[in-house]
Amino acid sequence: MANISVTATLPLGARRAGDSLWQEAWRRFRRHRLAMLGACVLLFMVVAVLSGPLAYRVPIDEIDFRAKLETPSWAHPLGTDDLGQDLLARMLYGGRISLAVGVAAMLIAIVIGTAIGAISGHLGGPMDHALMRITDLFLSLPQLPLLLLIIYLFRDVLKDVFGPEIGVFVLIVAVIGGLRWMPVARLVRAQFLSLREKEFVEAARSLGAPTMRQIVRHILPNTFGPVIVAGTIDVAAAIIAESSLSFLGLGFPPDIPTWGRILFDAKDNLDFAPHWALFPGAAIFLTVLSINYIGDGLRDALDPRKVLGQS
Amino acid sequence: MDEREIRDLVDDVEAGRLTRRAFTQMMVALGLTAPMAAQMLAGAGVARAQTKPTFNPTKRGGGGQLRVLWWQSPTLLNPHFATGTKDQDGSRVFYEPLAAFDPDGNVVPVLAERVPSGENGDLAKDGTSVVWRLKKGVQWHDGKPFTADDVVFNWEYSADPATATVTIGSYKELQRVEKVDSHTVKVVFKKPNPFWYDAFCGNRGQLIPKHLFEAYKGGKSREAPNNVKPVGTGPYRFVDFKPGDIVRAEINPSYHVPNRPFFDQFEMKGGGDAVSAARAVLQTGEYDYAWNIQVEDEILKRLEQSGRGRVEIWPSGNPEHVQCNQTDPWKEVDGERSSVKVPHPILTEAAVRKALNVLVDRAAVQEQIYGRQGQTSANFLNAPPRYQSKNTTWEFNIDKANQILDQAGWKRGPDGIRAKDGKKLKFVFQTSINAPRQKTQAIVKQACAKAGIDLELKSVVASVFFSSDPANPDTYRHFYTDLQMYTTTMGAPDPQLFMEQFTSWRIASKENKWSGNNVTRFRNEEYDTLWRGAENEVDAAKRAAMFIRMNDIVIQNVVVIPVLWRNGVGAAAKALRGMDLSGWDSTLWHLAYWYKA
């Protein structure tokens, strides 16, 4: 089937001889305009939070009551909060944490979810049963009490090992990631159940491909679509979960301005200092939206059954 | 000003040479509370000013519904088990004490016929006994009469350790409570007691009916069905109660004050947070009154502009303060941290505490965050601004802090943080989650950073921080950090119980399941002696001087750093009147007189 489509699209100049599959995917991804836009926005954000604090050297915690709740100006490009602290500096600093938490938690969720879903879907039988019941168990766990428990048990230990900021980061990423893999596992398992009966997998099996190769080379790439979409949703959820943890006093120390924390601080002032909430809100919104579009583009680009030119 | 001078002033008031108000102002300037001044005059037999209602309705009821919002809501409705203001307030809708405390700290009769005093002979001259004459014709909500037996029963009930009440402190020191006749009781103290208006007065004095609770005295106390179905003497009687959510009540048609109360139904709704509570009264007008709105003043002012309500502010004795842990919170000994066996390695050094004391920018906190809701203060015991106080002052001075630390040998490291003998000047500073408090934390942290002290901020959700759970290490009484900040409530217009929190026998520890209220773990022999002396000192002027000294000991040793002397703050609908809010008693102490204009 892939051959047919390639032949059919050859006149469009899509795939030239010698191009690898990845080059092919990149070519397809580039055609997805929104995905490219999303990638640019995300890249801009990443570059900004990584190099921004080096170029924009205003301290994040300089309190100046004469400049409190100022709207954007040259001195404070994104305005100030009610302690007169510069919002741009805080957003650049907090963005590192928010983005890192989001991406790291998403990776954990996807790795665990895919592994469990793949084993469960491919092996079937008692193993499938056991793993799916574990998944159900995790789904039925009340998340907030569990979070409280884990944080009370391990916070101090991790703080001693890694220091207050990194320790909390590790903990939050593990907790958020560890509690969000279940939907991914279910998606992957469902894909495996249908894919392992497909002709190309049977063909591989009859050619004597070992189980591992069947899973990794033949089935897994075909499950990427839904997994990537689920992953992009997880990034957004992790950023938001981090802010609600900060809200409960269990996240980062209150003076570390993650985007969620800035938003939380700003909410009571929304009616008269909207800029304070708008910028971090827009940052979270843009990040989540661009990651979603990138996911969309990736799914199209990586889908082996996708017919080019119809995207 | 010494004892003799204070005594002369009291004589001046008595003789009419000095007005009550002028006297009170002078006492406040000395670092005393207004209520204490009132008590000093009362002790000398000078007549008190009574608050008179200005609204005199000719019939009971007809006011419709009164809807109030308590963003922390009651979990049970028995005043003897009330943990925290929320339960005390919930109970106060139904139950009443013999006497309450008005905004000036005067003792005002409720279920008593009159307030005992030396003049009417009810208060023994030597301070060892007091006679209460009960109001006649008062009925419980179920129609049974209220008599001296009920008063005696409340003492027996609360003083019994098996009942495990939270009010036991007010009752266990009474020698006995005797019934003289059906409407007279005599309270006899073990020793002369200047604070005779503790038992049966204010929040801890709310009376429950003998005929319903008699069977549940002692170990079965928590099983009483009426713990959640109150039958009291108050202006409203019970309809419905969902713990943590809502309290509903209706007018008591046989209330003992004629033509009161004004409203036909009463509803107390719980949940949410301080800002949304303020919004519901000031902006949307859904509720008539919101309790304890600790919100930045700037936000309150903007909400008030909607014109639906107003912010009510009244004086109280509550200090927002930073506490310095005297013990080491990072070393575990016998299953507890912050144990008195291990002194704090750094905070026990006077120079460090002195430096911290000048690093709290009280003016910025007051001006920028709390505004009308408080005054800067140098004292723990309800003090005035520094220019009015004689013995204590405060300042904000980063240079001075640097100087103190330099002299004490704390040298700046390459990271800007000071160190000495391998110990770094780093502290963990915790408080409850509440926007004004997080901002105060940020202000203190920044000043400390400039003086080479590194603060790690921690914030704990209020329901955990203020809980009495012995298993939770994050409560304020465990105090497992170096510094912490909160407000201590002064529950009665007398500093005796309030100042007990620095006595050595009240230290919170594993042994007493952290129920002790000496949270800083401060120990000082002079303080202990003064406190014990004040307990039985009947001479009001002498006693006042003792409390001033106690305050000075705490402040000069920088056991605590007062940040703000807070006022009571509530939000009321525009038409709501007659609350007469008092900083010495429950918000609802005057509920029978609330009305809408």
> Residue B34: its pLDDT value, please?
65
Position B403 pLDDT exceeds 60: yes
**Measured CA distances, B524 to B496, B507, B548 (Å):** 17, 12, 15
User: Among B215, B208, B245, which Cα is nearest to B229's?
Assistant: B208
Residue B439: Cβ-neighbour burial (10 angstroms; 0-12, 13-18, 19+): buried
The residue out of B197, B223, B249 marking a domain boundary is B223
| Distance (Å) from the alpha carbon of B484 to chain A's nearest alpha carbon | 14
Q: How would residue B387 be classed by pLDDT, with cut points 50, 70 and 90?
A: very low
Contacts of B442 in chain A (CB under 8 A): 61, 63, 83, 254-255
Same domain? B381 vs B517: yes
> CB of B424 within 8 Å of any CB in chain A?
no
Mutate to test the interface with B, among A268, A269, A270 (most CBs of B within 10 A): A268
Which of A119-133, B1-15, B340-354 tops mean pLDDT? B340-354
Lowest mean pLDDT among A68-77, B289-298, B354-363: A68-77
Q: Which residues of B327-343 are buried (b: 16+ CB within 10 A; e: fewer)?
A: bbbeeeeeebbbbbebe
| Distance (Å) from the alpha carbon of A67 to chain B's nearest alpha carbon | 12
* 3-state helix vs strand vs coil in chain B, percent to 5: 30, 20, 45
Mutate to test the interface with A, among B441, B459, B481 (most CBs of A within 10 A): B459
**HEC per residue, B499-530:** HHHHCHHHECCCCCCCCCCECCCCCCHHHHHH
> Residue B383: its pLDDT value, please?
46
Same domain? B43 vs B140: no
Q: Regarding the domain delimited by A33-55+76-308, which CATH topology (the fold level of the hierarchy) does it fall under?
A: MetI-like fold (1.10.3720)
Q: Per-residue confidence of chain A (311 residues) as pLDDT tens digits?
A: 344 444 444 444 444 555 677 788 888 888 888 989 999 999 999 999 998 888 888 888 888 888 888 888 888 888 888 888 888 999 999 888 888 988 899 899 999 999 999 888 888 889 899 999 999 998 888 877 887 788 778 877 887 787 777 888 888 888 888 888 998 999 889 988 888 888 888 888 888 888 888 888 888 888 877 788 788 878 877 877 887 777 666 778 778 888 888 888 888 888 888 888 899 889 888 988 888 888 888 878 877 666 544 44
Amino acid in the structure at residue A152: Y
pLDDT, tens only, B523-548: 999 999 999 998 888 887 788 888 88
Q: Which of B299, B442, B474 sits opposite A255 (nearest CB)?
A: B442
Position B406 pLDDT exceeds 80: yes
Instruction: Tell whether B575 is covered by a domain.
Output: no
Q: Look at A253 and B435 and tell me if their CB atoms are within 8 Å.
A: no
Backbone angles phi, psi at A223, to 5 degrees: -95, -5
Tokens of B398: 């980063």
The Cβ of residue A76 has, within 10 Å, a number of other Cβ atoms equal to 21
pLDDT, tens only, B435-453: 899 999 999 999 999 999 9
Contact B455, B448 (CB under 8 A): yes
- For residue B419, the cross-strand partners are B411, B424
Higher pLDDT, B41 or B566: B566
> CB of B454 within 8 Å of any CB in chain A?
no
> CB of B435 within 8 Å of any CB in chain A?
yes
Instruction: Tell whether B573 is covered by a domain.
Output: no
| Distance (Å) from the alpha carbon of B475 to chain A's nearest alpha carbon | 13
Q: How would residue B522 be classed by pLDDT, with cut points 50, 70 and 90?
A: very high
CA atoms within 13 A of residue A206's CA, in its CB half-sphere: 7
Same domain? B410 vs B468: yes
Instruction: Name the residue ranges covered by the structural domains of chain A.
Output: 33-55+76-308
> Residue A78: its pLDDT value, please?
86
pLDDT, tens only, B27-67: 766 656 666 666 666 666 555 444 556 778 888 888 999 99
Backbone angles phi, psi at B566, to 5 degrees: -85, 155
Instruction: Tell whether B492 is covered by a domain.
Output: yes
| Distance (Å) from the alpha carbon of B359 to chain A's nearest alpha carbon | 14
- CATH code of the domain in which B529 resides: 3.10.105.10
| Distance (Å) from the alpha carbon of B260 to chain A's nearest alpha carbon | 39
Mean pLDDT of chain B: 87
Domain count, chain B: 3
Q: Look at B446 and A269 and tell me if their CB atoms are within 8 Å.
A: no
> CB of B438 within 8 Å of any CB in chain A?
yes
Position B21 pLDDT exceeds 80: no
Distance CA A239, CA A222 (A): 28
Q: How would residue B103 be classed by pLDDT, with cut points 50, 70 and 90?
A: confident
Instruction: Tell whether B242 is covered by a domain.
Output: no
The SS3 assignment for B65 reads strand
Same domain? B47 vs B99: no
Same domain? B43 vs B168: no
Same domain? B554 vs B459: yes
ipTM of the complex: 0.72
Position B557 pLDDT exceeds 80: yes
Instruction: Tell whether B34 is covered by a domain.
Output: yes
Higher pLDDT, B232 or A55: B232
Q: How would residue B2 be classed by pLDDT, with cut points 50, 70 and 90?
A: low
Higher pLDDT, B5 or B143: B143
Instruction: Tell whether B164 is covered by a domain.
Output: yes
Backbone angles phi, psi at B288, to 5 degrees: -90, -30
Same domain? B45 vs B104: no
- Chain B residue with Cα closest to A84: B368
Distance CA B417, CA B408 (A): 15
Same domain? B108 vs B5: no
Lowest mean pLDDT among A286-300, B171-185, B327-341: A286-300
Measured CB to CB, residues of chain A less than 8 Å from chain B are 61-63, 65, 68, 82-83, 152, 164, 247-249, 253-255, 265, 268-269, 271-272
> Residue B384: its pLDDT value, please?
35
Same domain? B107 vs B32: no
Q: How would residue B410 be classed by pLDDT, with cut points 50, 70 and 90?
A: very high
Q: Look at B298 and A82 and tell me if their CB atoms are within 8 Å.
A: yes
The SS3 assignment for A76 reads coil
Q: Look at B302 and A62 and tell me if their CB atoms are within 8 Å.
A: no
Distance CA B325, CA B379 (A): 18
> CB of B184 within 8 Å of any CB in chain A?
no
Tokens of B540: 């009001």
Determine the structural domain holding residue B369 and report its residue range. Answer: 317-567
Contacts of B443 in chain A (CB under 8 A): 63, 83
Same domain? B346 vs B487: yes
Mutate to test the interface with B, among A245, A255, A261, A265 (most CBs of B within 10 A): A255
Contacts of B450 in chain A (CB under 8 A): none
Q: Look at B456 and A164 and tell me if their CB atoms are within 8 Å.
A: yes
Lowest mean pLDDT among A12-21, B37-46, B114-123, B556-565: A12-21
Same domain? B2 vs B111: no
Same domain? B530 vs B467: yes
Establish whether the linkage from the previous residue to B261 is cis, with ω within 30° of 0: yes
Lowest mean pLDDT among A49-63, B166-180, B314-328: A49-63
Q: Can you spell out the DSSP letters for B372-440?
A: GGEE--S-TTT---GGG-SS------HHHHHHHHHHTT-EE-TTS-EEETTEE-EEEEEEES-HHHHHH
Contact B74, B86 (CB under 8 A): yes
> Residue B16: its pLDDT value, please?
63
Tokens of B61: 């009821």
Q: Calculate what percentage of chain B has a pLDDT beyond 90.
A: 54
> Residue B544: its pLDDT value, please?
84
Higher pLDDT, B18 or B475: B475
Contacts of A247 in chain B (CB under 8 A): 433
Q: Look at A83 and B460 and tell me if their CB atoms are within 8 Å.
A: no
User: Among B480, B520, B147, which Cα is nearest to B325's?
Assistant: B520
Higher pLDDT, B284 or A246: B284
- CATH code of the domain in which B110 resides: 3.90.76.10
Distance CA B358, CA B394 (A): 7
